[in-house]
Structure 1
Amino acid sequence: MKSFRTIMAASLAATTMLSLAACGSNTSSNEGTADNPVTINVWAWEPTLTPVAKAFEKKYPNIKVKITNAGTAQKQYTAINNALQAGKGAPDVAQIEYFAVPQFVLQNSLKDLSEFGADKFDGYYTPGPWASVTYGGGVHALPIDSGPDAMFYNKETFDKAGIIEAPKTWDEFYEAAKKLRAIGAYITCEPANIAVTEAWIWAAGGRTVTADGENITINYANDPIAQQYYAFMQKLIDEDLIDTKLSMWSEEWYKALEDGSLATITTGAWMAAMLKDGVTTGEGKWRVAGLPQIDANTDGNGEDGGSSLAVLEGSDKASAAYKFVEFAAHDREGVKIRIDKGQFPADTETMSDEQFLTKTDPYFGDQKYQDVLVEGAKKVGTQWQFLPYEVDARTRFGDYIGKASSGEITYQQGIEQWQESLIQYGNGQGFKVTTGQ
């Protein structure tokens, strides 16, 4: 079996070859000048980056930005890996979710932005996103948004079910679920959602992964807090209090949000903008609350989503590419464009802005919902680590937990089987993976 160091050395050599093939010379310091105009290729699915690019081109008229939607998240990651392996076609800049950063870092696919001065931005971003982009040392990307977890709920449906206020604990969430089923609604859906699962465990103080170089301890099945979550989910499944057939982002899911038969979504702060765009009939019905806690004595939070912009190691226009990344993620003009269009920030300056905090929206019943989301961002635990092959881990989660949703096995058994597959995969990739106790 190849060792972790052998894999890393081979990856670095391959990346160097790709870089040489793409560049033919060292990065030019005069990229984007009148004497050397350039076009940088950006792969991103986030629509607010288009107006950001237009503003950037006004500030840097000799740098043109071509944005391509190569697919959302996993589809784009696959396309990037295919391009890197082929030695051609990779973008200069890519949007990468925080959980996926470690995997690209270990492949030596991302440029260390410290050489451009990005290491000086520590403190500008909230701890969670900054820790994610500085995985393994260096600054491998810059945060453009964040996803502190929250509960988005349909107040109209809650009122019909006699639920006076949003549940604050898991027990209250369970009681609310029973009241909602009594009127034919579900409180939530899709128990086989890895992002939701991790965020709830994270918020409760669990720690399912410890990664230190080639040494990884996986504790999904054994962490006591995680086990409490699985038992909680099992109870919801057994009592038909969670819709096990409905999947997020499906046409049926949107319909359930529109007609009120699905009462909550527990996910990242970015859902505020997604709801407004995707469920237009919900204006005035929706509200935002903190994520339900494991008990009344806990006050934590996790993250679901959020993304960064990275410069690919093989880019022959790295200097110009970084200018765009810095403009979108750090320049106040670039940040403001995205925030004004509904994206949730990753920077502390915006989160402390009084105008931002007191902003109301008729869609959320004129609630100061940003204040709720910012409070959630402050509570995100710093103990959490993603697997250095989290992208692969997430693709297989549903294969195991889907069996629990259908009643073939228990939720705990599904986690145990999934964990075993993660151990085998990791060891096969040259990591030293053990199980926590």
Structure 2
Amino acid sequence: MARVTRRQFLNASGTGALAAKTAGMAGILALGKAPAYAQTSSIHWLKWNDFVPAGDQILRQSMLAEAEKALGFKVNMETIGLNDLQPRATAAIQAGSGADIIMIFDNKAQLYADSVADVSAVCEALGSAQGGYYDLAKANTHDGKKWIAVPYCIIGAMVAYRKSWFDEIGVTKFPETWEEFRDAGKKLKVKGRPMGQTLGHTVGDAPAFAYPYLWSWGGREVEEDGKTVKLNTKETIESVKFLTALWKDALDEGGLAWDDSNNNRAFLSGTISATLNGASIYIEALRKPDQYKTDKGAQLKTDILHAPLPKGPAGQFGVHPFQCMMVMKYSKNQQQAMEFLKWFHSAEVYGKWFNVQKGFATGPTKQWENHEMWQEDPVMAPYRVAPRLGRVYGYAGPAGQKAAEVLSKYIIVDMYAKAVQGMPAEEAVKWADGEVRKVYG
């Protein structure tokens, strides 16, 4: 690129360039409309492969074309596996180039607060128009001074379970406590129908189970001040001991190696009786009713119900995976990226995408829990208010950079995984406490 001296710039801007600028502005005013974007004809949007295929299908088949018509530039959408999003974001920031908009999960935008554009204008406009953002959404995407990402959606995490199999063991209501959950699981596993849960390094299901399970016993990584590490406690140790027994008695022990899709396949194939998940299992059964059948030949969709995780000695908690869109600071197309996100999240446009999600993805603003879509299927009802009930990673502290780092390193998940594989509970908790202290300092 040719280097322009300060003198050359001043000479140019003070003579012909200024005249051209003045003439150009006069022409724009005469036309009565804003100029088309001159620097780009497209933006690059990087997001996950939607677990509800219809979500990506409607984007590719119609919505992105509508965006181009409405905004005057093309949106090139690239989709990848959810576990690949964070490595791609890190690599793009290090290289100073890449997608203009990058999806990230949960509170991980906090890790990149210095490398993303300020999207406060977009978020404040949308929040004002749509009843405000849920606390969960703001906690994950606001750094205390500004919005660092645009909330995209919240994926309710509930336990999908086989109603008929639970009925057969005399459990006509989903277990409310961990003790009841273990008792039911023992009976199911004897019948070759264990429950399923991952403790692997996967973005969604593993931490969405491990964190609320920990909190339900009274454990936490830090206190409310976000500084005082408080993981190595009697409560945490008791949670580890109980899960070690639960794993052997009631769960599919192969779950250690699962990613966020393995439990879906296991449930749909009849290998497991229950698993923590978004609604994608049920939605897939709805989508292919003749492919997925029960052992008695009925459509599987008729035998699936949803319930929250059981409660422990300290209460009942949940984590609901959260997605947001970062506009990257290195991008030369920040304004266009923000225009697209504001357009996409307008009620009329977002509603089209929201409808095909069928409740798997709920809106980040409060107006969406009252959408008429929720009246269509009572099996999906537990997901409607999930955004109101979820805690953020890092609870009882804030969802800041340190909490995001602990999450990214899978410290809490690995604490349980180590114990399940044979490490004494006290040693597993001591290890995790030490790793958390390295992060919080």
**Both structures adopt the same fold (TM-score exceeding 0.5):** yes
User: Are 1:118 and 2:124 matched, yes or no?
Assistant: yes
2:317 to 272, 292, 301: 301
* 1:411–1:64 Cα change, 3 Å: farther
Q: How many residues align?
A: 378
Letter in 2 for 1:420: G
* 1:39–1:204 Cα change, 3 Å: farther
Deviation at 1:415, TM superposition (A): 3.4
Give the percent of matched residue pairs that are identical in Structure 1 and Structure 2: 17
User: Are 1:418 and 2:429 matched, yes or no?
Assistant: no
Counterpart of 2:68? 57
Q: In structure 1, what is the Cα distance between the partners aligned to 2:263 and 2:391? A: 30
Deviation at 1:39, TM superposition (A): 0.7
2:420 to 383, 405, 413: 405
Report 1:24-423 matches (<5 A).
33=36, 38-47=41-50, 48=55, 50-51=59-60, 52-60=63-71, 62-69=72-79, 71-88=80-97, 90-105=98-113, 108-116=114-122, 118=124, 121=127, 123-191=131-199, 193-202=206-215, 207-210=220-223, 216-222=227-233, 225-237=235-247, 239-246=248-255, 247-249=257-259, 253-268=263-278, 272-273=282-283, 281=292, 282-294=300-312, 298=315, 300-342=316-358, 343-345=360-362, 346-353=364-371, 355-360=372-377, 368-381=378-391, 383-384=395-396, 385-386=398-399, 388-389=401-402, 390-391=404-405, 393-397=407-411, 401-407=416-422, 409-423=423-437
* 1:143–1:225 Cα change, 3 Å: farther
Which segment is superposed worse, 166-175 or 148-157? 148-157
Deviation at 1:311, TM superposition (A): 0.7
Q: Deviations over 1:108-160 (max 9, x none)?
A: 11211124463662652222122211133211112221134321111132233
* 1:258–1:271 Cα change, 3 Å: closer
Q: In structure 2, what is the Cα distance between the partners aligned to 1:234 and 1:278? A: 36
**3-state SS in 1 of match to 2:154:** coil
Q: Deviations over 1:399-420 (max 9, x none)?
A: 554332222x134532331331
Deviation at 1:274, TM superposition (A): 6.0
Q: In structure 2, what is the Cα distance between the partners aligned to 1:31 and 1:230? A: 61
Q: In structure 2, what is the Cα distance between the partners aligned to 1:260 and 1:310? A: 38
Q: In structure 2, what is the Cα distance between the partners aligned to 1:82 and 1:252? A: 27
Q: Deviations over 1:335-381 (max 9, x none)?
A: 4313423342122111023x233221xxxxxxx13321124433334
Contact 1:31/1:38 (CA < 8 Å) preserved in 2? no
* 1:251–1:352 Cα change, 3 Å: closer
Letter in 2 for 1:165: K
Letter in 1 for 2:348: R
* 1:131–1:413 Cα change, 3 Å: same
**3-state SS in 2 of match to 1:314:** coil
Contact 2:185/2:249 (CA < 8 Å) preserved in 1? no
Q: In structure 2, what is the Cα distance between the partners aligned to 1:387 and 1:87? A: 24
Report 1:419-434 matches (<5 A).
419-424=433-438, 426=439, 433=441
Q: In structure 1, what is the Cα distance between the partners aligned to 2:338 and 2:45? A: 11
* 1:404–1:205 Cα change, 3 Å: closer
* 1:287–1:198 Cα change, 3 Å: same
Deviation at 1:31, TM superposition (A): 9.2
Counterpart of 1:7? none
Contact 2:106/2:140 (CA < 8 Å) preserved in 1? yes
Counterpart of 1:364? none
Q: In structure 1, what is the Cα distance between the partners aligned to 2:342 and 2:385? A: 26
Deviation at 1:195, TM superposition (A): 3.0
Counterpart of 2:25? none
Counterpart of 1:13? none
Which segment is superposed worse, 72-81 or 278-287? 278-287
Unaligned runs of 5+ in 1: 1-29, 361-367, 427-431
* 1:117–1:163 Cα change, 3 Å: closer
Contact 2:237/2:429 (CA < 8 Å) preserved in 1? no
Q: Tell me which protein shows more helix as a share of its residues.
A: 2
Letter in 1 for 2:211: E
Contact 2:194/2:252 (CA < 8 Å) preserved in 1? yes
Contact 1:92/1:311 (CA < 8 Å) preserved in 2? yes
Q: In structure 1, what is the Cα distance between the partners aligned to 2:420 and 2:349? A: 46
Is the radius of gyration larger for structure 1 or structure 2?
2
Root mean square deviation of aligned Cα: 3.2
TM (norm. structure 1) is 0.75
Contact 1:209/1:216 (CA < 8 Å) preserved in 2? yes
Q: Deviations over 1:69-111 (max 9, x none)?
A: 2x333422212222221223x2110111123121111xx1121
